[in-house]
Structure 1
Amino acid sequence: MTPQQNDLLCRVEGDAPMGKVMRRHWMPVCMSEEVAERDGPPRRARLLGEDMVVFRDTEGRVGVLDEQCPHRRASLVFGRNEECGLRCLYHGWKFDVNGQAVDMSSEPVDAKLRESMRTRAYPAREAGGFVWAWMGDPENPAPFDPPVWTKAPDDKIAIVKIHAACNWAQVLEGSIDSAHSSSLHSSNMPTATDVSGSTATDSQWLRPSADKSPRLQVERTPYGFRYAAIRTPIADADKQDYVRTTLFAAPFTVMIPPTDRYRLIQMLVPIDDVNCMFYWIAWHETKGISTEAWRQFCDATPGIDIDPITFRKYRNAENDYQQDRAAMKAGDFTGIKGIPTQDMAMWESMGPIADRSHDKLGSSDRAIFEFRKIMLAQAKGTGSEAPEKGWRNADLFTFEGMVSHSDDWREVSPPT
């Protein structure tokens, strides 16, 4: 890639073409649990370089507004959330979830300004544990379709949220890279001889293969692509392959291979040009994992591993992710706690925006090639203007398990 292509892929702020691509999709602003309380504390959010404030009003409605009060630009995050509106502390101007001024304490009661005053309000929806916002044309929001994990009951949906101090694209490229898990996460995903597929315990995912160089096969789809990482299994290698399939749904969603207990989806959401929010959803219609257990498994519990307000990591670049070299000598591959933090140590070490012009890609990077081609075409306007959101289609799924040499991975049945 050239530096110009790299900028086109990565930058999302202002009039950047990739930002315009993102604005054709509903975007997750925050988790619903962050604004669970009616008249509770407002929360900051930032997407595509725009600062927002999110709050739940007295009647339970969620509002997503421009963070700065339109009067004198003070932050509404410090405001009073009361009586169906958010009141700025500076002069008492108050706005409802639709952005309409409902009180302007510093203005005469008959001032015409009271009738017309509004602040920017982003159309908002709630589904699947998230607050979603529409950042495109406010007069023409796309229809909102609930994400696929809303098929599961609320208590079968668990979410991990972590700030990544780097560009969204290098985070997403990590999510679609099946080969790295056999090395970087080898202590968390060890080889086991007594399993036939990814088997989740409270602390590990056991795998039936020690193959570190998967063979990749990619298939284009209307929503992006899916691919199979094909590995040699420990058992019956002459008859079968161990196959893990991954889906990329443009522009920022990845469905990764499941375990025997839950399905897995990641959303890699651009905060701005050089920051990203990482969401990892574990869900299942009947089995699943609790939110507390999921966050413990990922070493991503708010207040213990990450800041409960900003979701920035306590193990970060400034303290070398608290890497434990003694643990490495004792057998731990990375010496870094938690699968997400192991990933972020790699992603963030590339710099705020990785210089892809220096990449030396190999055969295991086929999904990376495909992602870059699709998203550059989107940014240039030469790709589909509104790709299907295939991850919301119940007929599409990820798979992991054994596939006979005589069978095609594209034709395996959906998991139960």
Structure 2
Amino acid sequence: MTPEQNDLLCRVEGDAPMGQLMRQHWIPACMSEEVAEPDCTPLRVRLLGENMVVFRDSEGRVGALDELCPHRRASLVFGRNEECGLRCLYHGWKFDVNGNVLDMSSEPEDSALRKKMKTRAFPVTEAAGFIWVWMGDPDNVGEFNAPNWSSAPDEKISIMKIHAACNWAQILEGAIDSSHSSSLHSTNMPTADDVSGSTATDTAWLRPSADKSPRIEVEKTSFGFRYAAIRKPIRDADKQDYVRTSLFIAPFTAIIPSNDQYHLSQLLIPIDDENTFFYWIAWHPEKGISRDAWRKFCGAEIGKDVEPVTFRKMRNYENNYLQDREAMKAGDFTGIYGIPCQDMAMWESMGRIADRSEDHLGSSDKAIFTFRTQMYRAAQAVQKGEPAIGTTEPSIPQANLMTFQGMIPKGEDWREYNISDEERALRAKSKTGKSQKVTA
């Protein structure tokens, strides 16, 4: 990619086409637990380079307002959240969740300003453990497409959150890169010959394959694409393949293969051009993992591994992620605790915005190549005034989208495993029904 193409793919602030594309989708602003109680502490949120304040009022309604008070531009984050509104500390102006003025302490009762003043309020919905906001055209609010983990009850949804000091696209590329897990995460995802698929323990996910060079096949879809990483299993390699499928749901969601205890989904949400919030959701309708156990497994416990409120990492680039070289000599592959921090060390070491013009892609990078070309062209389309990817027909409910991991007999088509009825119907209408060939 040229530097100009790289900018089009990565940058989201202001009028950047990729940011305008994302504004045609509902965007997670924060976890529900961050504003859990009525009249809780207001939360500063930055998305796509814009600052807002999120709060829950006395009746439990959630609001997302422009962070700065329209009076003299002081921050509402410091305001008083009480009696169904957020009151600015500077002059006492108070706003409800819809941006309407409830009180203007510094103005006379008959002031004309009271009648016409309103601050910007973003449409909000709460679902699946998150507060979602609409940052696009307020007169053309899109339908909310619930994510796949919304099918689980709230108590079976566990969310981990970490701040990443780099651009969203290089994080998403990491999320859809199946081949790296066999090296970078090999200590956490060890090989075992007595399992038939990904098997979770308290400290690891066991795998039935030692193959570090999977064969990658990609199938484009209306929502993005799905792809398969096909590996040689330890047992009966002449009769079966170990297959792990992943999904990219444009513009910022990755669904990665499950294990025997919980499903796994990720959100890679741009704070601005150079910072991202990484959310990792572990969920299951019946089984699952507790929130505390999930964060401990990931090395993302609040107050221990990440700072409260900001979710900045205690293990970071400046301190080399507290990499333990003695542990490496003893057999730990990276010497870095937790799968997310292992990833962060790679992502952040590329720089705030990775220079893709210096990349040398190989056959294991077919999903990366597909992401770059698909989203680059999607940004170009928005630049021309066309609708964003994932917002037009045929539309597939995200709640029905799932991955697959397990053994399949040699010669069988991985595309037929664990797909939704909607996808199957669309595939039946296609002329070939075959995966689109992608050349890296």
TM range (shorter): over 0.9
Q: Distance in 1 between matches of 2:146 and 2:171?
A: 24
Deviations for 1:77-113, whole angstroms, at most 9, x for unmatched residues?
A: 1000000000000110111000111101001111010
The farther-off stretch of 379-388 and 356-365 is: 379-388
The answer to whether 1:406 aligns with 2:406 is: no
The answer to whether 1:210 aligns with 2:216 is: no
The answer for the alignment partner of 1:230 in structure 2 is 230
Q: Distance in 2 between matches of 1:102 and 1:253?
A: 38
The answer for the alignment partner of 1:147 in structure 2 is 147
Q: Distance in 2 between matches of 1:203 and 1:344?
A: 19
Deviations for 1:158-177, whole angstroms, at most 9, x for unmatched residues?
A: 00010000000000000000
1:55 is paired with a residue whose SS is strand
Q: Distance in 2 between matches of 1:145 and 1:224?
A: 14
> Deviation at 1:391?
7.4
Q: Distance in 1 between matches of 2:320 and 2:376?
A: 33
Relative to structure 1, is the Cα distance of residues 414 and 380 closer, same or farther in structure 2, using a 3 angstrom cutoff? closer
> Deviation at 1:279?
0.5
1:306 corresponds to which letter in structure 2? V
Q: Is the 8 A contact 2:162 2:278 kept in 1?
A: yes
> Deviation at 1:394?
4.6
Structure-to-structure mapping, 1:41-80, within 5 angstroms? 41-80=41-80
**Cα RMSD over matched residues?**
1.4
Structure-to-structure mapping, 1:308-327, within 5 angstroms? 308-327=308-327
The farther-off stretch of 255-264 and 373-382 is: 373-382
Q: Distance in 2 between matches of 1:149 and 1:353?
A: 30
The answer for the alignment partner of 2:429 in structure 1 is none
Q: Distance in 1 between matches of 2:145 and 2:363?
A: 36
TM-score, length of structure 2 as denominator length: 0.92
> Deviation at 1:396?
2.9
Q: Distance in 2 between matches of 1:302 and 1:118?
A: 36
TM-score, length of structure 1 as denominator length: 0.98
Relative to structure 1, is the Cα distance of residues 65 and 395 closer, same or farther in structure 2, using a 3 angstrom cutoff? closer
Q: Distance in 2 between matches of 1:288 and 1:365?
A: 31
1:312 is paired with a residue whose SS is coil
Q: Distance in 2 between matches of 1:238 and 1:354?
A: 40
2:319 corresponds to which letter in structure 1? N
1:91 corresponds to which letter in structure 2? H
> Deviation at 1:395?
4.2
Out of 363, 387, 390, the position equivalent to 2:389 is: 387
1:129 corresponds to which letter in structure 2? G
Q: Is the 8 A contact 1:200 1:261 kept in 2?
A: yes
> Deviation at 1:388?
3.5
Q: Is the 8 A contact 1:197 1:207 kept in 2?
A: yes
1:81 corresponds to which letter in structure 2? N
Query: Which runs of 5 or more structure 1 residues have no equivalent in the other structure?
Result: none
2:378 is paired with a residue whose SS is helix
The answer for the alignment partner of 1:334 in structure 2 is 334
Q: Is the 8 A contact 1:134 1:141 kept in 2?
A: yes
Q: Distance in 1 between matches of 2:319 and 2:65?
A: 35
Q: Distance in 2 between matches of 1:380 and 1:178?
A: 27
The answer for the alignment partner of 2:285 in structure 1 is 285
The answer for the alignment partner of 1:15 in structure 2 is 15
Structure-to-structure mapping, 1:97-116, within 5 angstroms? 97-116=97-116
Q: Is the 8 A contact 1:305 1:313 kept in 2?
A: yes
Q: Distance in 1 between matches of 2:51 and 2:66?
A: 6
Structure-to-structure mapping, 1:175-214, within 5 angstroms? 175-214=175-214
2:57 corresponds to which letter in structure 1? D
> Deviation at 1:146?
2.2
Q: Is the 8 A contact 1:9 1:379 kept in 2?
A: yes
Q: Distance in 2 between matches of 1:256 and 1:145?
A: 19
2:330 corresponds to which letter in structure 1? A
Deviations for 1:344-402, whole angstroms, at most 9, x for unmatched residues?
A: 01000000000000001100000011001111111101797243377744543100000
Deviations for 1:37-63, whole angstroms, at most 9, x for unmatched residues?
A: 101100110000000100000000000
Kindly tell me the number of residue pairs found equivalent between the two proteins. Answer: 415
Q: Distance in 1 between matches of 2:287 and 2:419?
A: 16
The answer for the alignment partner of 2:424 in structure 1 is none
Q: Distance in 2 between matches of 1:66 and 1:326?
A: 49
The answer for the alignment partner of 2:402 in structure 1 is 397
Q: Distance in 2 between matches of 1:249 and 1:15?
A: 23
Q: Is the 8 A contact 1:176 1:254 kept in 2?
A: yes
Q: How many percent identity over aligned positions?
A: 70
The answer for the alignment partner of 1:89 in structure 2 is 89
The farther-off stretch of 374-383 and 119-128 is: 374-383
> Deviation at 1:205?
0.2
Query: Which runs of 5 or more structure 2 residues have no equivalent in the other structure?
Result: 421-440
Q: Is the 8 A contact 1:223 1:387 kept in 2?
A: yes
Show structure 1 runs of 4+ deviating over 6 A.
Answer: none
The answer to whether 1:124 aligns with 2:124 is: yes
